[in-house]
Amino acid sequence: MPGYADPAALATALAAAGYLADEGLAVAGFLALKLHRPIFLEGDAGVGKTAFAGALAEATGLPLVRLQCYEGLDAAQALYDWDFPRQVLHLRAVEAAAGGARSVEELEAGLYDRRFLVARPLLQAIEQAPCVLLIDEVDRADDEFEAFLLELLADAAVTIPELGRIAAAEPPLVVVTSNRTREVHDALKRRCLYHWVGHPSPEREAAILRARLPEVTERLAVQIADATARLRALDLVKPPGVAESIDWAAAIGALGADALSAEITALTLGAVLKVREDIERVRAAADAP
Amino acid sequence: MLLDLVAAVRAAGVPATPDRVQAMFRAVDATGPDLLYWAARLTLCGSPDDIARFDAAFAGFSRDAEPKGTPWQVRRLPERSLFRASSPGDGAADGDPGLAVRAADTEMLRHRDLATLSAAERAEAMRLLALAAAADPRRPGRRYRPWHRGRADPRRTMRAMLRAAGEPRLPARRARRPRPRRLVLLADVSGSMAPYADALLRLGHALVQHRPRWTEVFTLGTRLTRVTAPLLSRDVEVAVRAAGQVIPDWRGGTRLADTLTDFLRRYGHRGLARRAVVVVFSDGWERGDPAPLGEAAAHLRRLAHRLIWATPHAGRPGFAPTAGGLAAVLPHVDALVAGHSIAAIEELLGEVSH
């Protein structure tokens, strides 16, 4: 795993990967690399939590393993599963080859071989380590799954009853994200570096737009960043995240405009606001002098 | 010096446990003292509330160091929405009439009296617990289970046929395995609901006890308060007392539309109310324009699986939902039920499992 002298060096590497991290995020990444602690990122949708893990993988040159959480996620889908059809095929093949010479025990032991194990993201991460493991939207999974994660994060190893313990050569760099639809258990957060990812300042947002969409002019980027900041200050149901402002800039760029005008804004509002009440509210605010 | 910071942060209410403090020392070691703010914040905090408290403590701790939590980060913090009229940087919203109403309301903060439960109240709490067991709304899950009706289950059918040496068998069937559906109780504890507020907390306690993972209880008044955590205590008296201590606006005024909107922004729209059964317990008594309350109810209805509005007045003879707030809410609710007696609560819970 590459080392960085200080958080600023990591921020530079992230910037080269197209992600402009603020100071707190850079320190979090730096500490995660140095102290081998997972990072727990919380924040509104579309502020760049998932993108951070991707950028971290690119900056450090490590492979990215992603686990998308959802309700009902269990160990068989997150960790490993036995490949039952292949095991049956193996038995049939042995039968066909008339391998009567082999003992039953030997045959049975052969069934629980590593090659019949399907590695799901968490096992992949442990086997591939060092790598970046992204556990996305952990708040969607059930809380038993959190308890299960705890065990894994604590010692970066899994015990498979039939095979024994598989331990990571080096603990993977873990990024856990949550949209805060429910409170994640404190026991999980305690083991992590907690960072609340806020909306970026207008200057940073303009820089992000420029980095992500090179075709957008400096002036348009600044205008969009300012407008998005003003939208966030309004009392909206879903304040736009960075992802939305990037979409917005791309939409305006696709229309061939190079500056934000009243007509262009009215035409493209749907790229940045996705709730009807919000759009109406902004229209009303724009019409008022 | 670092221990002073830890003490200040703890005094501000951040639960900085020893293992977190240990992590902080290692983090400060790794980053150096210049990044003390981030090293400490990343390791000691565990929620946006913690960050706000940490910032306050840190500002008092080191005079020269400005807290770096930008206004952008602080904006979405929990206490944000009710006093926005007076917070700086919101000039864009000045013309909003809704804010003017908010600003004009003076807030009365008061905690619940620490009364012990009478024998009758205890007996009622026991009955509520028994009743709550009946409220078990479910929804179809993503996974399947063997069932006697439904679509054919290819895997089980195939295995049965293999066992029968390839002879055709009756097809096995499967259906979606039901999962518990979340229940959200929003209880109005304002002055006009005062006679029912205690009983509502006990009802919340009963529901939380019955299905702790699938129930959320909030109180509405002049502020929104999440009381699920205090209600987790087994003993009803301890739980209700703990809940009373976190509710700052007990029997105060009411800003129903604002608190309901606040709920939608902070919890509902993010997923808490999605596909849930939402029970609002309120008389719908709203000063000012009822239109925002209607909008909030419509939004809640779109998110939730069922929106049930319980109002104590509905149990009275000759009741008609003409009060401004209720009339605005009525087009958007799935059921309007009474909630003035145990029998009415039973009916309400029947509606929940519907």
pLDDT, one tens digit per residue, over A68-125 is 998 878 878 888 888 888 888 888 888 788 765 567 777 777 888 888 888 899 999 9
Residues B130, B276 within the same domain: yes
Query: Across the strands, what pairs with B306?
Result: B277
CA–CA separation, B147 vs B143, rounded Å?
12
Cα dihedral A16, A19, A24, A25, rounded to 10, equals -100
State the pTM of this model.
Answer: 0.69
Q: Say if B92 is an interface residue toward chain A (CB within 8 Å).
A: yes
Q: What is the pLDDT of residue A25?
A: 92
Residues B173 and B236 occupy one common structural domain: no
Query: Is residue B317 domain-resident?
Result: yes
Query: Is the predicted pLDDT of residue B95 greater than 70, yes or no?
Result: no
| Same domain membership, residue B207 and residue B159 | no
Domain identity same for B46 and B162: no
**One domain, residues B123 and B152:** no
Q: What is the CA radius of gyration of chain A?
A: 24
pLDDT (0 to 100) of residue B50: 84
Question: Cβ contacts of residue A117 below 8 Å, gap of 6+?
Answer: A80, A81, A82, A83, A123, A160, A163
Task: Tell me, yes or no, whether B299 lies in a domain.
Answer: yes
Structure tokens at B36: 């003390």
Q: How many CA atoms lie within 13 A of B280 on its CB side?
A: 36
Q: Which of A19-23, A226-230, B74-78 has the lowest mean pLDDT?
A: B74-78
| pLDDT computed for residue A280 by the predictor | 86
B102 — pLDDT class (breaks 50, 70, 90)? very low
Question: What does the alpha-carbon distance between residue A219 and residue A225 come to, in Å, rounded to a whole number?
Answer: 10
Same domain assignment for residues B206 and B346: yes
Q: How many CB atoms lie within 10 A of CB A36?
A: 14
Put simply, the answer to whether B143 touches A189 (Cβ < 8 Å) is: no
Distance CA A109, CA A106 (A): 5
| Contact by Cβ (8 Å): B65, B58 | yes
- Could A31 and B272 be called an inter-chain contact, meaning their C-beta atoms sit closer than 8 Å? no
Q: What is the mean pLDDT of residues B112-120?
A: 65
pLDDT at residue B70 is higher than 50: no
* Interface confidence (ipTM) of the complex: 0.80
User: At residue B76, what is the residue type?
Assistant: R
User: Is there a domain that residue B113 lies in?
Assistant: no
* 8 Å CB contact of B47 and A194: yes
Nearest CA in chain B to A228: B72
Distance CA B324, CA B293 (A): 10
Domain spans of chain A, in order of start? 7-74+121-197, 80-115, 202-287
Is residue A266 left, alpha or beta, with left meaning phi > 0 and alpha meaning psi from -120 to 50? alpha
CATH class of A7-74+121-197: alpha beta
Torsion of the alpha carbons at B333, B335, B338 and B341, rounded to the nearest 10: -120
Report B:212-251 residues touching A (Cβ under 8 A): 213
Are A193 and B43 a contacting pair at CB < 8 A?
yes
Q: What is the DSSP letter of A21?
A: -
Question: Distance between CA atoms of A245 and A77, rounded to whole angstroms?
Answer: 34
Q: Is residue B96 within 8 angstroms of chain A, CB to CB?
A: yes
Same domain, B228 and B311: yes
Which of A7, A27, A233 is facing B90, going by the closest CB pair? Answer: A233
Q: Read off the CATH number of the domain in which B222 is found.
A: 3.40.50.410
Residue A73 in contact with residue A121, Cβ under 8 Å? no
Tally the domains of chain B: 3
Which residues in chain B touch residue A199, judged by CB atoms under 8 angstroms apart?
72-73, 75
The per-residue pLDDT for A1 is: 61
CA distance B256 to B277: 19
Does residue B107 lie within any of the structural domains?
Answer: no
Cβ separation A195–B42 shorter than 8 A? yes
- Does B323 share its domain with B192? yes
Give the model's pLDDT for residue B51: 87
Q: Is residue B163 part of a domain?
A: yes
d(CA B155, CA B19): 49
Stretch 73-102 of chain A: residues touching chain B, C-beta under 8 Å: none
| pLDDT over threshold 50, residue B88 | no
Provide the domain limits for residue B56.
2-80
**pLDDT of B110 above 80:** no
**In a domain? residue B93:** no
Give residue-wise pLDDT tens across range A241-281. Answer: 899 999 999 999 888 888 888 888 888 888 889 888 888 88
Task: Among A25, A138, A194, A280, pick the best mutation site for testing chain B contact (most B Cβ within 10 A).
Answer: A194
